[in-house]
Amino acid sequence: MDEGIKRVQQQMEAQGYVTDRAVATTVYLAAELHMPALIEGHAGVGKTEVAKVLAASLETELIRLQCYEGLDAYTALYEWNYPKQMLWIRLAEQESLSLDTKEAHIFAQEFLLKRPLLQAIAHDGKPPVLLIDEIDRADEEFEAFLLEVLSDFQVTIPELGTIKAEEPPFVVLTSNRTRELSDALKRRCLYLWIDYPGFDKELSIINVKVPGVSQLLAAQIATSMAALRRLRLTKAPGVSESIKWAMSLMALGRPRLDRQGLEETFGIVLKDRDDIEAVRGLWLDQMLESLEGKDVDGLRELADAPLSS
């Protein structure tokens, strides 16, 4: 088993995803046990990326279902191509076909529009990775419907009958915890919580995702992010903001953090006016003073120590 987990970790890192044993173990067991993986965590910590990297490492298709309030079963499963059906009916009026024959034909596979869930179930060849993104945004009714689909990986279409997956897809569900998910869904999944990364992991992520970034700038960003996440912000910045921040400062030709660079790039890191105002002034002065003159090791120590008030 250890070899299998190490192999998964190596495969994910080969795709540019800086991972750890907990993530690799969940992915490994999900594949071995044919169980969905439910990944929760703060926004921007790499939950969705797990599914993308898994699909890339397995060299298989990624099928994504983006959840939202009001999402219903048919939108996620299938629908009929009504314009194409109507066109065929008009053309068939010139032929002497029985009503039963016409009805059987217009509800054939060629008129079926497969949505993400049906695409994953009725796949051909290698099992795909089905990403059900932000399941917490969907209604509880859709969550209940999803339990039936994921239990047997089959669906019944009244006009066609039951369609069952020859091989079940790999399933990854993500949640930002905007609402609590049902115990029934959690019991059917392997659960993983991805937290904000520590200093060294975030430093590695920035180095991997932003080629050419200086070690000092990457370390200053990792330290600043740790400090920002300790504040009571409306929206704490995620790892994706760290990556974009590093890219932005490099584009501005800034090899290290300074006041002007921070002021010019606040909109990359913080997405709320009150949050921006909260970090200006005394906090920003303290942050810049703390960063001054420190190397990577000094910044590592600073990342674990809150700023003095």
Q: 10 Å Cβ neighbour count for 3?
A: 7
* Rounded average pLDDT over 156-180: 89
**Domains of the chain, with CATH numbers?**
2-71+124-194 (3.40.50.300), 199-303 (no CATH)
Q: Which of 93-102, 145-154, 198-207 has the lowest mean pLDDT?
A: 93-102
pLDDT for 258 beyond 80: yes
Across the chain, mean pLDDT equals: 88
| Segment 196-224, tens digit of pLDDT | 999 999 999 999 999 999 999 999 999 99
pLDDT reported for residue 59: 92
pLDDT for 308 beyond 80: no
Q: Which two tokens stand for residue 127?
A: 């099992």
Those residues whose C-beta lies under 8 Å from the C-beta of residue 284, and which sit 6 or more positions away, are 259, 262
> What own/partner pairs with CB < 8 Å and gap ≥ 24 does 115-118 have?
115/65, 115/74, 115/75, 115/76, 115/77, 115/78, 115/79, 116/63, 116/64, 116/65, 116/76, 117/65, 117/76, 117/77, 117/149, 117/155, 118/77, 118/78, 118/155, 118/163
- At position 95, the amino acid (one-letter code) is E
Residue corresponding to tokens 């044919």: 34
Alpha-carbon torsion, ordered 295, 297, 303, 307, to 10 deg: -60
Please provide residue 286's backbone torsions phi and psi, each rounded to the nearest 5 degrees: -65, -40
Q: 10 Å Cβ neighbour count for 141?
A: 11
Closest CA to 184 of 150, 152, 138, 137: 150
What is the distance of C-alpha 188 from the center of its chain? 19
pTM recorded for the entire structure: 0.86
Higher pLDDT, 10 or 81: 10
* 269 band by pLDDT with thresholds 50, 70 and 90: very high
* Rounded average pLDDT over 83-95: 71
> What own/partner pairs with CB < 8 Å and gap ≥ 24 does 287-294 have?
287/224, 287/227, 288/257, 288/258, 288/259, 288/262, 291/220, 291/223, 291/224, 291/257
How far from 124 is each of 120, 130, 160, 167, 304, CA to CA, in Å?
9, 14, 18, 9, 50
Per-residue DSSP letter, 39: E
